[in-house]
Structure 1
Amino acid sequence: MYRAYVRQLAMSKKEAKLKVVVFLGSTREGRMGDRVAKFVTKYLESTNHDVHLIDPVQLKLPLLEKPLFFYPDQSKAPKVLQETDKLIQDADAFVVVSCEYNHSIPPALANTLDHFAPPHFAWRPSGIVTYSPGQFGGMRCAMQLRCMLGELGCLSVSNIFGIPKVHEALDEEGKPLNDYMKTGINTLVTQLDWHATAMKRQREAVGVPPPPKPV
């Protein structure tokens, strides 16, 4: 009943599809992240979301030297930064898909997020999906991501979808191999939809507070 209520909100004639940007964290050779990203994006698409995947392997941003907001005239910034920033600003919610690198946030993921200003992420919710070949499912990275996403202004929903033994949970095409995958993603997206719908309505009704002034 609860999920049906959330879907009813998202499918309302007065509201368009929720726009979700999915960030993929890993760039390592042989990464399992491709499987998880396929699974997440397919599920979101099947549940009436407009989905855009941001993959650092495809994005190929340099090691951070000059973020977008350092350009006095942002129209002169590299096109990849402008286009990615627009996706971020247009989003209603974010999902971060990440493994652990040395029990921490992958540097390519942090590097991608750091190229863009926190106000462009703010006032939208985020969901965290982590994975590992071991039994902890990337939870140490998830705890650090929760802090980072909160500082960007896109607070994560309470549920974290951790995927242990990811190589046994999904095939190469992102097809789930156990029932936990289906219930886990459903719980996360149900929470994400509720918050995203509520925040979207509030943004449209009253706007958002201005960003704090530098101190």
Structure 2
Amino acid sequence: MASYTVSKLPLKIVLFLGTVRENRLGLRVAKFMVNQLEKTGHDVTLFDPEVMSFPMLHKPVFHYGKDREGAPDWLVKAEQQVKDADAYVIVSGEYNHSIPPALSNMMDYFGGSSYSWKASGIVCYSPGIYGGMRSAMQLRAFLGELGCLSVSNIFGIPKVHEALNENGEPLNDHMEKGAQRLISQLDWNAHAMRNQRNNFGTP
């Protein structure tokens, strides 16, 4: 089987960071993944709930009507970025072995039609030996219901504090190899799905 070289055609990617906890390690992972995706030539927008401050969900953006009348400007802009994206990368730890509430709260602001018929990739981490995999298993179902199916490869990072420094720089030889395996799958699937949408539309 021929190996796949990541396309030189850029993708628009929204990276969702799923943690707001004190002394969070996920920001290291997000910085690392943004850097890896940009090195591959992709256009990345980071959604960080600590910076964007999504309130506890009372009114998703699609409840403002088709013209989004009365919706906050930042939320309308964010929705457009989600809709314009070709693919998504989800960076998630695990809270009580589950999806962090800040992550699902943030993503649920936008309707499934914003995500549908696109690819996603899961990057999970933990300070322990399991690398956030229990959360990743739940994310597979969550992303499938949104319509942005996750690629088969999951990039799990155990002992994340020993794998990346505070600036998101890798501390071992495995990090870039693991990221590129995920990115190559995401790139292939996202381009295939974009081509299909552009040429044939969506159901």
Question: What residue number does 1:48 align with?
Answer: 41
Letter in 2 for 1:163: I
- Map 1:17-166 to 2 at 5 A: 17-72=10-65, 73-166=67-160
Q: Matched residue pairs, number?
A: 201
- Alpha-carbon contact 1:121-1:154 (below 8 Å) kept: yes
> What is the DSSP-based 3-state SS (H/G/I as helix, E as strand, rest coil) of the residue aligned with 1:74?
coil
How many Å separate the matches in 1 of 2:181 and 2:69? 40
Letter in 2 for 1:37: A
* C-alpha RMSD of the superposition: 1.0
Q: Are 1:204 and 2:193 counterparts?
A: no
> What is the DSSP-based 3-state SS (H/G/I as helix, E as strand, rest coil) of the residue aligned with 2:185?
helix
Letter in 2 for 1:3: Y
Q: TM-score, normalised by structure 2?
A: 0.96
How many Å separate the matches in 1 of 2:25 and 2:4? 29
C-alpha displacement at 1:71, in angstroms? 1.1
Per-residue CA shift, 1:107-161, capped at 9, x if unaligned?
A: 1101001111001001110000000000000000000001000000000000000
Query: Percent same amino acid among aligned pairs?
Result: 57
Q: TM-score, normalised by structure 1?
A: 0.91
Letter in 2 for 1:51: V
- Alpha-carbon contact 1:75-1:82 (below 8 Å) kept: no
How many Å separate the matches in 2 of 1:200 and 1:76? 32
- Alpha-carbon contact 1:35-1:172 (below 8 Å) kept: yes
Unaligned residue ranges in structure 2 (runs of 5+): none
How many Å separate the matches in 2 of 1:75 and 1:41? 33
- Alpha-carbon contact 2:36-2:176 (below 8 Å) kept: no
